Chain A
Amino acid sequence: MIGVGKIKQYSNILEKPLSKGKQEVSLSAFAFLFSELVQYNQTRVDNIAELERRLEDAGYAVGARVLELLCHRDKGNRRETRLLGILSFVHSTVWKVLFGKVADSLEKGTEHEDEYMISEKDLLVNKYISIPKDMGTFNCGAFVAGIVRGVLDGAGFPAVVTAHFVPMEGLQRPRTTILIKFAEEVLQREARLG
């Protein structure tokens, strides 16, 4: 007699397959949590560069974990070895999982060979944040830059990642650009691979 409709029982919790989990989190909940993260760091630093660095470090931890999770869950444990591969992975898969949509655009820098830019008209973390005038060019997108740096570092593409505001004509708010500058060894390896 075939056991139809029998649920497979797992004796060991480690054998249970990884569930996809709840796909969405309340935006307000995240906004408040992120706001508190920024305020917490603001009281512990002396200048803006330090605050940006702390936000980036927070994002770095997220990025490292996101890479492991996505490689297992979405890509079947395959890893990217080419530059364009990892960039499009960040641009679409990582963005889709974290922010619910793919990034607006991925561009190659014109001035330097090792620079790439991911742009977003309205970065999710910046959605409710207005930077006061006396903070100059500070961008809370440094958190997202940290996430990208974490993903790239974990995948073996060391890079320096920063977030910038780029004013655009026709848009009331400047759009945010994540600037990725790859280390020398990455470009050399890429050239060797042909």
Chain B
Amino acid sequence: MDTNDSLRVASLWHSMHAISQQLSPTTGCSGIELLEADTFDLHCFQSLTGTKFFVVCEPGTQHMEALLKVVYELYTDYVLKNPFYEMEMPIRCELFDINLTQAVQKDRVALLGR
């Protein structure tokens, strides 16, 4: 999936998230948190500023919220404190990528016990 496709999918998700807030029958809804489908689960985390982080995983994967919070922390550290990152642009920060793969690997090891 190249950058343009990712951008398209992300903007689709952003719109769906906003629409779901309006559609919800209960008041005080903050948007979609979990989308369960046949072949995947989509967990979404929304920060206080409205930035959304979502992760697509196998159905039934546990502890994705914790992973999303870790990713949020990595984002604030390695992307927002990077003087060469322009806001709203695709993230091309080496440190962010390295730490992200490390976090996902650690999660995978903990989950699979390998």
- A interface residues with partner B (beta carbon < 8 Å): 28, 31-32, 34-39, 42, 128-132, 135, 140, 172
Contacts and interface: CB of A to CB of B under 8 A. Distances in A.
B84 A128 contact: no
Give the bracket for the number of chain B residues in contact with chain A. Answer: 10 to 19
Contacts of A135: 84
Interface in B26-85: 77-78, 80-84
A129 B83 contact: yes
Given A128-B77, A128-B78, A130-B78, A172 B98 contact: yes
25 contacts: A31-B81, A32-B80, A32-B81, A34-B83, A35-B83, A36-B83, A38-B83, A39-B83, A42-B83, A128-B77, A128-B78, A128-B82, A129-B82, A129-B83, A129-B95, A130-B84, A130-B93, A130-B94, A130-B95, A130-B96, A131-B84, A132-B84, A135-B84, A140-B83, A172-B98
Nearest to A126: B95
B106 interface: no
A28 B78 CA distance: 11
A39 B78 CA distance: 15
Contacts of A140: 83
Contacts of A132: 84, 92
Interface of B: 77-78, 80-84, 92-96, 98
A131 B84 CA distance: 7
Given A129-B82, A130-B96, A132-B84, 4 more contacts: A34-B83, A37-B83, A39-B83, A128-B81
B4 to A, nearest CB: 20
Contact of A129 (B84, B92, B98): B84
A171 to B, nearest CB: 12
Contacts of B95: 128-130
Contacts of A131: 84, 94
A31 B96 CA distance: 15
A28 B81 CA distance: 8
Nearest to A37: B83
B82 A130 contact: yes
Contacts of A172: 98
B71 to A, nearest CB: 15
Nearest to B98: A172
